[in-house]
């Protein structure tokens, strides 16, 4: 099975349509469609985005098609995921990085609101 088919399989197994996935990560539906299509090269960025969106996916399997027993084990309901020791540092790093990025987005959103208010005040004085 190709990387593209495995990519498409992940979406299907998580019950996420291409359009829903595209909306979640901020790309076009056609971009997601091209990532799922046979014969189209699947680069690092789509793989990275998929692994961030679905941390229970076995990265080695997604990239190579070889299943790993030591990476991530998850039940079918996707309610509990046990991360074994070999991948704990990576998962922790990604979670910390996502938290840091979310905090940065909150700060920028707040700054943006303040700048909009200042612009409105300046416009009102003219």
What pLDDT is stored for residue 1 in this prediction? 82
Q: How far is CA 19 from CA 23, 26, 72, 81, in A?
A: 6, 10, 27, 26
For the entire predicted model, the pTM comes to 0.53
Could you tell me the end-to-end alpha-carbon distance of the chain, in angstroms, rounded to an integer? 65
Query: Helix-strand-coil percent breakdown of the chain, rounded to 5?
Result: 65, 5, 30
- Specify the CATH number of the domain 1-83: 1.10.260.40
Q: Are 11 and 17 in contact (CB under 8 A)?
A: yes
Domain ranges of the chain: 1-83, 84-126
What pLDDT is stored for residue 86 in this prediction? 53
pLDDT tens, per residue, the chain with 126 residues: 888 899 999 999 999 999 999 998 889 999 999 898 877 777 888 888 899 888 888 888 888 888 765 444 444 444 444 444 456 677 777 888 888 888 888 888 888 888 888 898 898 887
> Whose structure tokens read 């495995």?
6
Burial of 42: CB neighbours in 10 Å, binned 0-12, 13-18, 19+? buried
What pLDDT is stored for residue 76 in this prediction? 46
């Amino acid at each position: 099975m190709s990387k593209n088919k495995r990519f498409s399989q992940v979406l299907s197994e998580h019950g996420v349509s291409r359009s829903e996935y595209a909306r979640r990560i901020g790309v076009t539906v056609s971009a997601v469609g091209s990532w799922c299509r046979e014969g189209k090269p699947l680069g690092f960025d789509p793989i990275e985005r998929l692994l961030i969106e679905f941390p229970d996916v076995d990265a080695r399997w997604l990239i190579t098609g070889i299943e790993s027993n030591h990476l991530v084990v998850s039940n079918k309901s996707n309610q509990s995921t046990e991360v074994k020791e070999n991948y704990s540092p990576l998962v922790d790093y990604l979670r910390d990085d996502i938290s840091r990025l979310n905090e940065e987005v909150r700060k920028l959103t707040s700054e943006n609101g303040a700048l909009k208010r200042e612009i409105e005040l300046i416009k009102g004085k003219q």
